[in-house]
Amino acid sequence: MEKADVGRKILGANETCALKNKQFLARHGKRCFNMISSPGSGKTSLLVRTITDIGQSLRIGVIEGDLQTDIDAERIRATRAPAIQINTEGACHLSAKQVSQALEGLPIENLDLVIIENVGNLVCPSAFELGEDGKIVVLSVAEGDDKPVKYPGIFAKSKVLLVNKIDLLKGGMVDFDLDRVFADARRLNRDIEIFPVSAKTGEGMQKWYDWLTSQARSH
């Protein structure tokens, strides 16, 4: 019997591919963000609203990840922004390889920014680097204010937290302690930017737009 110290990263092949994506994006001078949340928190709605409101000044290309269908890519294309749909056919996360193929399909030269909407899942996507400059986690108020404690991984790894559907807080439709979410998320991640927003009413969206624009311009 012989024991060998291997010390190899298990997801190393994905990371190598993610690095290639990063280099591709850097070569073209484009920023890229990886949007992660539970199903239905409002990722596509936020993207549609963002592109509708500021798409003239900030040209965003979208990569949509879903188990099945191209419903989300169609919703993005309805705004006239380019979108590539990836169907993972059961896989709970996007891989760097899938994203590298999708990147080839985007008119990268005509864009300021690429946003990847990952498969709806608060756990698995956070383990797979795609080559992004940062992760954006979306939490909608109807999911409850305990999520940063219950799913610490994604909150610790993200640059931005969008707390969506804050319109539902009016009139006490949902019990959700925003202060608790700020405190719990910041305890794990001192630098995380938190924007409470509503994709439905547009409330709070301007600060998110300012942040996104500053990121795209800082290249």
Ligand X SMILES: Nc1nc2c(ncn2[C@@H]2O[C@H](COP(=O)(O)OP(=O)(O)OP(=O)(O)O)[C@@H](O)[C@H]2O)c(=O)[nH]1
Give me the residues that bind other proteins (CB under 8 A), please: 1-14, 91-93, 95, 123-124, 126-128, 149, 152-153, 156-157, 187-189
Alpha carbons 154 and 147: distance in angstroms, whole number: 10
User: Which span sits near ligand X by CB under 6 A: 43-51, 129-137, 144-152, 154-162?
Assistant: 43-51
Minimum separation from the CB atom of position 44 to Mg ion (A) = 3
Tell the residue number behind the tokens 């925003």, with chain if given.
Answer: 178
Asked if residues 102 and 73 have their Cβ atoms less than 8 Å apart, the reply is no
Do the bridges between strand 31-37 and strand 134-140 make them parallel or antiparallel, or are there none, so unpaired? Answer: parallel
Q: Which of 52, 53, 63 is nearest to 30 (CA)?
A: 63
The smaller minimum CB distance to ligand X, of residues 14 and 41, is found at 41
Residues 61-90, one symbol each (x = binds Mg ion by CB under 5 A, - = not), give -----------x------------------
Q: Which residue number, 73 or 96, has a Cβ lying nearer to other proteins?
A: 96
In terms of Cα–Cα distance, which of 119, 110, 23 is closest to 63?
119
Size of the residue set binding Mg ion (CB under 5 A): 3
Q: How far apart are CA 185 and CA 192, in angstroms?
A: 8
**Under the rule (CB under 6 A), what is the footprint of ligand X?**
37, 39-45, 72, 120, 164-165, 167-168, 198-200
